[in-house]
Amino acid sequence: MTQTPTKPLLRALAGERVAPAPIWLMRQAGRYLPEYRALRAKAGGFLDLCFTPDYATEITLQPIRRFGLDAAILFSDILVIPWALGQPLRFEEGRGPVLEPIAPDGLDRLEREGVVERLAPVFETVRRVKSALPPPTTLIGFAGAPWTVACYMIEGGGSKEFLKAKRWALGAPDRFQQLIDLLVVATVDYLSAQVEAGAETLQLFDSWAGVLSETELERWSIAPLQRIVEGVKARHPSVPVILFPRGSGLGYARFAEASGADGLGLDTTVPLRFAAELQKQITVQGNLDPAALVTGGRALEEGIDRILSALGAGPFIFNLGHGVVPETPPEHVAALIERIQRTAA
């Protein structure tokens, strides 16, 4: 028996129009906040932050304390799954994640058993955050989408062309499917455990969906995400799922109609009239340019108002079209939230 949700973010994900629009920001916890930088300076590496519940809880809560957003998103990283599968991972200052790249013949060396057990500190963080959150604030769990995680696993880090990942997908699709299948299973287990620890909704980040052709997008992004949504909902029927297939452009329509998700995160490039069309099928979330939040002033106000007036009449969650960047002045975030909350009409 599903209860009617009362938290604003969950109401929007249930298809309701909520005014003022619920708001949270991708990377709302992070380097633009002095209190994050202070904690970061004390702690060890980035992975230590993710795997130490004291740190991860504190970081998750920092933006909630400062701004009173409608949702907290677990502080973690999409690459904890490859790490839990046994792939060596480190984060280098100024370079980002570095993994030992995996080749098709390395698949069998991944440790499929025990993934959830190795990620126990993450669930401990979820439990602690949940008990500390103010009642109207929703707790969002998350994971990377299989295509994006596979890209990192194969390229060994970020990439411009994703040539190694694409060559594997195009040249040895059966073997690539095995990697995707393995990630689907691990991700369903991981997300389900987050729900069991207290996550109330889940977001899947497909940061590199935007490099795939139509055919490959269908096979390597939409299909696996659809299986994850199905798998999680088989265990937790009432948990809403948000997909963020960044850069998928015209592919967004397919996510709305075929993925089975409850919410769709729109990147900055998605035209608002098209977003309003998607909104007839699914709750949309987005899509202010993070650069407008850095700039502030009139550019920020006009950007906010344009989005609210195009999408505020349907099921909608305000967010950026990509993560908060380190150059963002925290007072611009405060101004954004204030403007959203003033627009309750």
With beta carbons less than 8 A apart as the criterion, state whether 51 and 41 touch: no
> What stretches of the chain adopt beta strand conformation (E)?
71-73, 89-92, 96-99, 138-144, 201-205, 241-244, 263-265, 283-288, 316-320
In whole angstroms, how close is the CB of 322 to a copy of itself at the nearest point? 8
With beta carbons less than 8 A apart as the criterion, state whether 22 and 12 touch: yes
By the 10 Å C-beta count (0-12 exposed, 13-18 middle, 19+ buried), 160 is classed as exposed
Q: Which two tokens stand for residue 288?
A: 């202010």
Q: Quick one: 98 or 294, whose CB is closer to a copy of itself? A: 294
> Quick check: bond before 240 cis, omega within 30?
no
In whole angstroms, how close is the CB of 249 to a copy of itself at the nearest point? 3
Q: Quick one: 158 or 231, whose CB is closer to a copy of itself? A: 158
152 is catalytic: yes
55 is catalytic: no
127 is catalytic: no
In whole angstroms, how close is the CB of 113 to a copy of itself at the nearest point? 33
Buried b (16+ CB within 10 A) or exposed e, 102-139: beeeeeeebeeeebbebbebbbbbbbbbbebbeeebbb
Q: Which residue among the candidates 36, 70, 77, 267 is catalytic per the annotation?
A: 77
77 is catalytic: yes
Residues that bind a copy of itself (CB under 8 A): 161-163, 166-167, 170-171, 210-217, 247-251, 268-272, 274, 287, 289-292, 294-295, 297, 299, 303, 306, 321, 325, 327
Q: Which residue among the candidates 32, 36, 55, 152 is catalytic per the annotation?
A: 152
289 is catalytic: no
In whole angstroms, how close is the CB of 164 to a copy of itself at the nearest point? 9
Q: Quick one: 19 or 294, whose CB is closer to a copy of itself? A: 294
Q: Quick one: 34 or 96, whose CB is closer to a copy of itself? A: 96
Catalytic center residues: 27, 31, 40, 77, 152
